[in-house]
């Protein structure tokens, strides 16, 4: 053999064996998580102590992880998917990638927050709210309904993040409650009125620093910002729509077990753990995510408006659907 | 001295190997692109039209074209002017200016965008995007142009000057045409990087095809819409590459042929004007470095008392994340340069249509956002080499695919400078092919290869998308830690990681400049015919 070829082959063999040297441990659980990494770390540590099962976590942005799971298909190494938003789980369910959860797991959480077909369970929820800049919105009267924000007097005063995962359920909710025509008209109004941001974090920060008067966000971004900046850094407050208005929608985050799970038993244990009082306490007290724990009887972080005082619109996951129509409507309105 | 004529079997065999290696590299590079084309081809044509003819697309296309054209132009002018002044004029603190010209590259665009936006809302949208990208990408023009300026044959210039050409006319009629390949190559990299930029545009609220591809994943969880938009980006990238090729071919007649004598070109005396140039450099550095970094420093100290408490930051975590970043950076840089070698060698020694085509394939990847490449690799890996999926090697390969175009520029010019006469001489004295590589070619090209490696290292440590998707499970790097904290708006907790990352980037930039400078020093020492006074500043 020519020395060069031999060298090349040796080199290639070394590189490949380097790559293969660290195969995934079959005994441990593999979690794909789009939840906040710091919170997931706390949960995983606690679960490992309680169950003796070791967990390996791949973290990422929800939509990217779902795209990755779909690209992996049957070859996916993942056992559990812990979503940041329910549409991610609906999409996986739609591709028949999730397996049915046992009744005991599902029963822990009120049924309206779970998958209608029982393939995933709700873990936490957050409320859709309006973040309001103290100075810029001083003379404005707050809208009674989310739909009012499409009116001309809000032109240039509103911030939205139409491509954020939290926005799609809002569009679906407006569709479910008011019909397609009204939803399309509302979106066109928003297009004329709003400054577009890429995500909720951007909206919250922009309203707080005084770039724009009000913004549609999920409540916990504001709570997070308050922890980060301290009271002296906050120049904004939250306005809750309430009264069953579509604007007070609850966004649910949950978890499901993949059909292709290698360690289905441990996977079911982990998802069941997420809905247990122990895990829900960790979530409520983490001081990182500021979402509402969905297990009845667990009090959320004190900075949040009590869960019982929220007045979300009368919708369940079945009515809300899988958001498949939301994106085309956003495109048609020129928002996406 | 050509003892091995092309016609001998051995030489042909050698050439065959070279082509095979370069072709293999090209196939690896193109594999994620093929996945995109395949996915787009599978979608319904009506769906395709829906994606590309919706109301928003017109404004996306306009934004994309506007920012690509203006960033490329701005970086071209900034890079050219600062390279010329720092290489060809006599300035105080001469070593400082090249370093300051390249350092902005070490500031990740999402960091500088955040800093600018927090200063003024007027910087959202196009002005801010141009400001941030102009600062971050002009080093991509500065580097090749200053290298080319150092490599120019001073004899031509001296002749022109003695024939009565003034310094301005000399620059436009003689120097600029010779710089065209380097200038155009750099501008092409700028244009392609702008096409695929994401982090800066998100914070600046500027929507392009790339930001829309990310939005498409969010809204649809499905790669079809993203693949369709990627096809539009690929076409735009191909157009830019074709344009550059045309212009470069017209310019090729200016390229220097004789590489016999080498000495440092003369530096122009500017008199009092030099202080004006110094002021210009300082002002530019204020905009590209000082302002963004100090604004960021200010914001990092403006957090509440509770900001750090919910998240763990320990010395151990910091050390582990830094170690992973450095390890991945070093290994990735080594692999990238290794893969760039056959292509670079082919381009340097056997230029022609085939080599040029292969180089363009590598460049195409640069125009497509990292998420698309990373997801393409997921598909390729699972279908072709499932055993490698989510292994460290696959991640390194992803880095190599993403950053090979950046490495290519330095690798190619390093091999061009390692003269083929010496290689032939070594062969004629009985060294085998691999011995020639190890003992002659690589040592001669080492500084240039080192520069390429530093550039790739810099890009790897700040890379996020591919790292999150493809790393061995549980890998935590500086970049992923910063992401984990900032996605929960825990900026204070992210600060120590961001600080280490910035220091690492600065060190690799410094190394890059050192190696490029070392290149010039070696050359001067080798030919020994330095112009009096020239050694002092190199």
pLDDT, tens digit (0-9, with 9 covering 90-100), for B56-69: 888 999 999 999 99
- Please tell me the distance from the alpha carbon of residue B363 to that of residue B404, in angstroms, as a whole number: 8
In-domain check, residue B4? no
Q: Which residues contact B231 (CB under 8 A, 6 or more apart)?
A: B36, B37, B40
> B386 and B288 in one domain?
no
A198, B221: Cβ pair inside 8 Å?
no
CATH number of the domain where residue B392 is located: 1.10.3720.10
Nearest to A72 by CA among A95, A89, A41: A95
| pLDDT at A156 exceeding the cut of 70 | yes
- Among A167-176, B121-130, B510-519, the range scoring the smallest mean pLDDT is B510-519
- Please tell me the distance from the alpha carbon of residue B126 to that of residue B68, in angstroms, as a whole number: 11
Domains of chain A: 24-125+251-304 (3.40.190.10), 126-249+323-332 (3.40.190.10)
> B328 and B207 in one domain?
no
Q: Which residues contact B216 (CB under 8 A, 6 or more apart)?
A: B225, B226, B229
> B151 and B285 in one domain?
yes
Highest mean pLDDT among A149-153, B430-434, B465-469, B494-498: A149-153
Q: At what angle do helices B353-366 and B315-349 cross, to 10 degrees?
A: 160
> B375 and B294 in one domain?
no
- Please tell me the distance from the alpha carbon of residue A71 to that of residue A255, in angstroms, as a whole number: 19
Identify whether the C-beta of residue A150 lies closer than 8 Å to the C-beta of residue A185: yes
Highest mean pLDDT among A153-162, B1-10, B82-91, B107-116: A153-162
B392, A211: Cβ pair inside 8 Å?
no
- Among A31-45, B138-152, B154-168, B334-348, the range scoring the smallest mean pLDDT is B154-168
Binding site for Fe cation, residues of A? 36, 220-221
Q: At what angle do helices B9-42 and B353-366 cross, to 10 degrees?
A: 40
pLDDT confidence of residue A142: 95
| pLDDT at B214 exceeding the cut of 50 | yes
pLDDT confidence of residue B236: 93
In-domain check, residue B13? no
In-domain check, residue B93? yes
When CB atoms are compared, the residue of A38, A88, A164 closest to B310 is A38
Count of structural domains within chain B: 2
Selected residues 159-218 of chain B with any CB under 8 Å from a CB in chain A:
202-203, 205, 207, 211-212, 214-215, 217-218
pLDDT, tens digit (0-9, with 9 covering 90-100), for A161-217: 998 888 988 999 999 999 999 999 999 999 999 999 888 988 998 999 899 999 999
> B399 and B290 in one domain?
no
In-domain check, residue B451? yes
| pLDDT at B1 exceeding the cut of 50 | no
- Please tell me the distance from the alpha carbon of residue B295 to that of residue A139, in angstroms, as a whole number: 32
Average pLDDT over residues B53-57: 85
Instruction: Using the Cα atoms of residue A185, residue A188, residue A194 and residue A199 in order, give the sign of their dihedral.
Output: positive
- Among A106-115, A185-194, B239-248, B255-264, the range scoring the smallest mean pLDDT is B255-264
> B330 and B291 in one domain?
no
> B195 and B108 in one domain?
yes
> B338 and B214 in one domain?
no
| pLDDT at B527 exceeding the cut of 60 | no
Whether B382 has its CB under 8 Å from any CB of chain A: the answer is: yes
Whether B527 has its CB under 8 Å from any CB of chain A: the answer is: no
> B330 and B416 in one domain?
yes
Instruction: Using the Cα atoms of residue A312, residue A317, residue A322 and residue A328 in order, give the sign of their dihedral.
Output: negative
- Please tell me the distance from the alpha carbon of residue A234 to that of residue A231, in angstroms, as a whole number: 5
Domain that holds residue B40: 32-255+278-302
Highest mean pLDDT among A8-17, A42-51, B205-214, B487-496: A42-51
When CB atoms are compared, the residue of B222, B304, B469 closest to A227 is B304
Which of the four pLDDT bands, split at 50, 70 and 90, describes residue A22?
very low
pLDDT confidence of residue B531: 34
| pLDDT at B292 exceeding the cut of 50 | yes
Residue B355 to chain A, least CA–CA distance (Å): 22
The domain boundary, picked from B302, B337, B372, lies at B302
State the average pLDDT for chain A: 89
pLDDT confidence of residue B308: 55
Q: Quote the tokens at residue B399.
A: 């880095």
| pLDDT at A107 exceeding the cut of 50 | yes
pLDDT confidence of residue B12: 62
Which of the four pLDDT bands, split at 50, 70 and 90, describes residue B524?
very low
Identify whether the C-beta of residue A301 lies closer than 8 Å to the C-beta of residue A284: yes
pLDDT confidence of residue B256: 46
Using a CB-CB distance cutoff of 8 angstroms, which residues of chain A are in contact with residue B207?
A: 196
pLDDT confidence of residue B261: 52
pLDDT confidence of residue B220: 73
Average pLDDT over residues B209-216: 88
Which of the four pLDDT bands, split at 50, 70 and 90, describes residue B473?
very high
| Residues linked to residue A214 through DSSP beta bridges, in sequence order | A132, A158
| pLDDT at A20 exceeding the cut of 70 | no
In-domain check, residue B18? no
> B207 and B77 in one domain?
yes
How much is the CA Rg of chain B, to the nearest whole Å? 24
pLDDT, tens digit (0-9, with 9 covering 90-100), for A254-305: 999 999 999 999 999 999 999 999 999 999 988 887 999 999 999 999 989 9
B468: nearest CA partner in chain A: A60
> B210 and B318 in one domain?
no
In-domain check, residue B269? no
State the average pLDDT for chain B: 83
When CB atoms are compared, the residue of A30, A163, A202 closest to B473 is A30
pLDDT confidence of residue B155: 80
> B78 and B42 in one domain?
yes
- Among A299-313, B115-129, B454-468, the range scoring the smallest mean pLDDT is B115-129
pLDDT confidence of residue B3: 41
Average pLDDT over residues B229-254: 82
Average pLDDT over residues B222-229: 81
When CB atoms are compared, the residue of A3, A22, A66 closest to B391 is A22
Residue B67 to chain A, least CA–CA distance (Å): 18
The residue with tokens 């082509």 is B19
B527 vs A95, residue with greater confidence:
A95
- Among B230-234, B439-443, B485-489, the range scoring the smallest mean pLDDT is B485-489
| pLDDT at A306 exceeding the cut of 70 | yes
| pLDDT at B262 exceeding the cut of 50 | yes
pLDDT, tens digit (0-9, with 9 covering 90-100), for B391-418: 999 999 999 999 999 898 788 878 877 7
Within B89-222, where are the H helices? 96-102, 109-119, 126-151, 154-162, 167-170, 176-195, 199-204, 209-220
In-domain check, residue B207? yes
């Amino acid at each position: 053999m020519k020395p060069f070829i031999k060298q090349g082959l040796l080199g290639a063999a070394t590189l490949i064996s380097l790559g293969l040297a660290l195969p995934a441990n079959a005994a441990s659980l593999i979690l794909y998580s789009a939840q906040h990494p710091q919170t997931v770390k706390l949960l995983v540590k606690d679960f490992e102590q309680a169950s003796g099962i070791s967990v390996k976590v791949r973290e990422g942005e929800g939509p990217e992880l779902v795209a990755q799971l779909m690209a992996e298909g049957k070859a996916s190494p993942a056992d559990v998917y812990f979503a940041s938003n329910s549409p991610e789980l609906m999409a996986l369910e739609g591709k028949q990638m999730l397996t049915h959860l046992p009744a005991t797991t599902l029963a822990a959480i009120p049924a309206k927050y779970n998958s209608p077909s029982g393939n995933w369970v709700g873990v936490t929820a957050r409320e859709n709210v309006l973040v309001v800049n103290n100075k810029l919105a001083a003379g404005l009267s707050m809208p009674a309904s989310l739909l009012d924000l499409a009116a001309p007097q809000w032109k240039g005063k509103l911030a939205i993040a139409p491509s954020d995962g939290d926005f799609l359920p809002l569009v679906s909710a407006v569709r479910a409650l008011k019909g397609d025509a009204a939803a399309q008209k509302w979106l066109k109004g928003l297009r004329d009125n709003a400054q577009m941001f890429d995500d909720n974090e951007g909206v919250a920060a922009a309203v707080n620093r005084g770039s724009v008067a009000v913004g549609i966000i999920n409540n916990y971004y504001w709570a997070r910002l308050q922890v980060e900046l301290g009271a002296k850094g906050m120049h904004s407050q939250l306005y809750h729509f309430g009264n069953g208005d579509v604007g007070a929608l609850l966004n649910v985050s949950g978890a499901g077990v993949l059909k292709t799970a290698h360690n289905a038993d441990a996977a079911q244990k982990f998802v069941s753990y997420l809905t247990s009082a122990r895990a829900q306490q960790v979530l409520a007290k983490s001081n990182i995510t500021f979402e509402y724990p969905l297990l009845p009887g667990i009090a959320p972080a004190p900075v949040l408006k009590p869960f019982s005082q929220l007045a979300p619109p009368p919708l369940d996951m079945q009515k809300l659907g899988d958001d498949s129509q939301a994106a085309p409507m956003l495109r048609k309105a020129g928002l996406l | 001295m050509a003892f091995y004529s092309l016609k001998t079997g051995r030489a042909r065999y050698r050439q065959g190997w070279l082509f095979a290696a370069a072709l293999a590299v090209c196939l690896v590079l193109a594999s994620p692109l093929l996945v995109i084309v395949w996915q787009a081809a599978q979608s319904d044509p009506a769906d395709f039209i829906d994606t590309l003819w919706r109301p928003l697309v017109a404004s996306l296309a306009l934004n994309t074209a506007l920012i690509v054209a203006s960033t490329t132009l701005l970086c071209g002018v900034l890079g050219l002017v600062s390279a010329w002044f720092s290489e060809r004029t006599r300035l105080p603190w001469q070593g400082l200016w090249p370093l300051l010209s390249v350092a902005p590259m070490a500031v990740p665009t999402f960091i500088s965008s955040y800093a600018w936006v927090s200063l003024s809302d007027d910087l959202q949208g196009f002005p801010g995007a141009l400001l941030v990208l102009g600062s971050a990408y002009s080093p991509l023009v500065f580097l090749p142009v200053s290298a080319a300026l150092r490599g120019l044959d001073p004899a031509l210039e001296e002749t022109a000057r003695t024939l009565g050409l003034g310094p301005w006319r000399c620059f436009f009629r003689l120097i600029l045409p010779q710089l065209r390949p380097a200038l155009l190559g750099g501008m092409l990299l700028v244009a392609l990087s702008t096409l695929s930029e994401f982090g800066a545009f998100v914070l600046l609220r500027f929507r392009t095809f790339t930001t829309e591809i990310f939005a498409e994943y969010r809204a649809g969880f499905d790669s079809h819409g993203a693949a369709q938009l990627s096809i539009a980006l690929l076409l735009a990238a191909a157009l830019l590459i074709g344009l550059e090729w045309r212009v470069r071919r017209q310019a090729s007649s200016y390229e220097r042929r004789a590489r016999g004598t080498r000495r440092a070109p003369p530096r122009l005396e500017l008199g009092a004007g030099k202080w004006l140039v110094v002021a210009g450099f300082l002002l530019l550095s204020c905009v590209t470095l000082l302002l963004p970094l100090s604004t960021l420093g200010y914001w990092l100290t403006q957090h509440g008392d509770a900001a750090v408490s919910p998240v763990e930051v320990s010395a151990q975590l910091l050390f582990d994340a830094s170690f992973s970043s450095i390890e991945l950076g070093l290994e990735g840089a080594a692999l990238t340069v290794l893969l760039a070698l056959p292509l670079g060698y082919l381009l340097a020694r056997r230029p022609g249509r085939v080599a040029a085509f292969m180089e363009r394939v590598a460049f195409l990847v640069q125009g497509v956002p990292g998420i698309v490449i990373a997801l393409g690799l997921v598909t390729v890996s699972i279908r072709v080499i499932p055993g490698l999926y989510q292994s460290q090697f696959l991640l390194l390969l992803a880095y190599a695919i993403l950053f090979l175009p950046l490495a290519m520029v330095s690798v190619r010019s390093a091999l061009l400078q390692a003269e083929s006469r010496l290689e032939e001489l070594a062969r004629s004295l009985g060294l085998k092919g691999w011995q020639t590589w190890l003992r002659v070619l690589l040592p001669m090209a080492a500084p240039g290869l080192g520069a390429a490696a530093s550039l790739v290292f810099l890009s790897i440590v700040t890379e996020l998308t591919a790292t999150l998707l493809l790393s061995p499970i549980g890998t935590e790097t500086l970049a992923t830690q910063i992401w984990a904290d900032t996605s929960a708006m825990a900026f204070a907790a992210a600060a120590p990681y961001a600080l280490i990352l910035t220091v690492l980037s600065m060190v690799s930039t410094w190394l890059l400049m050192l190696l490029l400078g070392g290149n010039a020093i070696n050359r001067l020492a080798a030919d020994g015919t330095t112009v009096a006074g020239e050694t002092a500043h190199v």
